């Protein structure tokens, strides 16, 4: 007996498909966004100590108090706003869980949610499962900046939420202070909620400032702000993130969270609490750490036929491959993996309707130098 699918547009994710191709063909995997270098030593030691001290059972549903306090302290330090650790901070099993919980907390059947394409592939399924309707609005195809006229035109009486992402996956584009003022004006006087995906908040380059929604009172009063420890501390497999939202929104968020995962890997929570407080320089210096990787990788790409696009933040590099091939992006990335031994991610899965003729692929530079060097050697042969 075959059930009627609740997610008719969803198959195996492009990340799974491309990573499987990497395994099958011995390709250098610059596709899926995970670092291949070590987790900070202090964090590993703190995790080991927490497990040996017996911190291995269920944690409080909202997260262990030391971690929620550390998140509150860090938020104040970074953005000048101190969320209530008891009423406004919730620890989740990764940012993806937080995104799903936030959508289900407020989106009802028939509600519309504006998503800005290209956007991460977990957004629309979360909306679909809640019975909502994803309304796709394209970012600028060159700069990936928001098109405010198009966004305003997409707002209807049924609009319940808008989802934003800065630094942006897949492009690395970042919202400006003017973009945040435009967003404030757009939402003023409405009942529209904001889901601000800020998982790359500390990976910013060239002296820019991350314009978190938490910096703006008019936004944070209606926002779910989602962050990821996996991105900040090179441990994506630990799947720990958090959501900051005002008390009334956090209360609804927690109703979903408690029946989704209830709680998150307990010893890791104690380890992150220690890491945040004892070594703030890690997240403070993360931008410089990745900026050096970005610059080195871009210089190497200039020795290939791939054209690298600007990368203001995040750890992904978009490349234009039109000087190499006219294949559509999914076909090109499959050819690149099988025939040339380098895995990239096509952009089309990040869109509702991909732009015609776009020839872009995403490479991840959160890798050891040896990994990147091996990929470049193969790309130079194109």
Tell me the pLDDT tens digit for each residue of 341-372: 999 999 999 999 999 999 999 999 999 999 99
Mean of the pLDDT values across residues 377-382? Answer: 96
Backbone angles phi, psi at 113, to 5 degrees: -125, 120
pLDDT for res 379: 97
Residue with tokens 């970074």: 78
Band of pLDDT at residue 25, cut at 50, 70 and 90: confident
Tens-digit pLDDT profile for residues 256-304: 999 999 999 999 999 999 999 999 999 999 999 999 999 999 999 999 9
Residue 137 pLDDT? 98
The tokens describing 81, both together, are 């706003």
Each residue's pLDDT tens digit, 167-192? 999 999 999 999 999 999 999 999 99
In CATH, 14-39+284-379 is 3.90.1150.10? yes
198: Cβ contacts below 8 Å, ≥ 6 apart: 165, 166, 210, 212, 213, 225, 226, 227
Whole-number average pLDDT of the chain: 96
C-alpha 354/C-alpha 102 separation (Å) is 26
45-84 pLDDT, tens digit each = 999 999 999 999 999 999 999 999 999 999 999 999 999 9
DSSP 297: H
Q: pLDDT-derived band of residue 12, with 50, 70 and 90 as boundaries? A: confident
Separation in Å, CA 129 to CA 6, 7, 122, 256, 260: 7, 7, 11, 13, 13
pLDDT of residue 11: 77
How confident is the model at residue 18, as a pLDDT? 84
Q: 10: pLDDT confidence band, cut at 50, 70 and 90?
A: confident
Domain ranges of the chain: 14-39+284-379, 41-282
Topology classification of domain 41-282 = 3.40.640
Structure tokens that stand for 174 in this block: 């970042």
pLDDT at 21 over 90: no
Scanning the chain, the segments in alpha helix (DSSP H) are 14-25, 41-52, 65-79, 95-106, 123-129, 148-154, 177-187, 217-220, 229-232, 247-260, 266-278, 281-284, 286-301, 329-340, 369-379
- Supply the pLDDT for residue 372: 98
Tally of CB atoms within 10 A around 177: 11
**Rounded mean pLDDT of 244-265?**
98
Q: What is the pLDDT of residue 292?
A: 98
């Amino acid at each position: 007996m075959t059930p009627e699918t609740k997610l008719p547009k969803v198959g195996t994710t492009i990340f799974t498909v491309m990573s499987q191709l990497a395994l099958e063909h011995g390709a250098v995997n610059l596709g899926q966004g995970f670092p291949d270098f070590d987790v900070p030593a202090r964090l590993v030691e703190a995790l080991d100590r927490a497990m040996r001290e017996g911190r291995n059972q269920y944690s409080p549903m909202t997260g262990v108090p030391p971690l929620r306090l550390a998140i509150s302290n860090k938020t104040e330090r970074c953005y000048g706003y101190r969320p209530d650790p008891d009423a406004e901070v919730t620890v989740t099993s990764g940012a993806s869980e937080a995104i799903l919980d936030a959508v289900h907390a407020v989106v009802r059947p028939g509600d519309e949610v504006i998503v800005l394409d290209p956007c991460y592939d977990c957004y629309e399924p979360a909306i679909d499962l809640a019975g909502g309707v994803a309304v796709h609005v394209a970012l600028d195809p060159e700069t990936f900046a928001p098109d405010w006229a198009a966004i305003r035109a997409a707002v209807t009486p049924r609009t319940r939420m808008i989802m934003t992402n800065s630094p942006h996956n897949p492009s690395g584009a970042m919202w400006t202070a003017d973009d945040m003022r435009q967003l404030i004006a757009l939402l003023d006087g409405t009942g529209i909620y904001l889901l601000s995906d800020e998982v790359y908040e500390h990976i910013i380059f060239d002296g820019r400032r991350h314009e978190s929604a938490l910096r703006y009172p008019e936004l944070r009063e209606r926002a779910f702000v989602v962050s990821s420890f996996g991105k900040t501390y090179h441990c994506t497999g630990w799947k720990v993130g958090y959501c900051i939202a005002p008390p009334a929104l956090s209360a609804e968020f927690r109703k979903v969270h408690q029946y989704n995962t209830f709680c998150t890997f307990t010893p890791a929570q104690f380890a992150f609490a220690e890491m945040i407080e004892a070594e703030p320089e890690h997240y403070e210096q993360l931008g410089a750490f990745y900026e050096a990787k970005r610059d080195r990788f871009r210089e190497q790409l200039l020795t290939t036929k791939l054209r690298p696009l600007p990368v203001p933040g995040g750890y992904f590099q978009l490349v234009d491959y039109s000087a190499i091939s006219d294949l559509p992006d999914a076909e090109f990335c499959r050819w690149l993996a099988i025939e040339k031994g380098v895995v990239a991610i096509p952009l089309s899965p990040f869109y509702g309707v991909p732009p015609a003729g776009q020839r872009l692929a995403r490479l991840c530079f959160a890798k050891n130098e040896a990994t990147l060097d091996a990929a470049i050697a193969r790309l130079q042969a194109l």
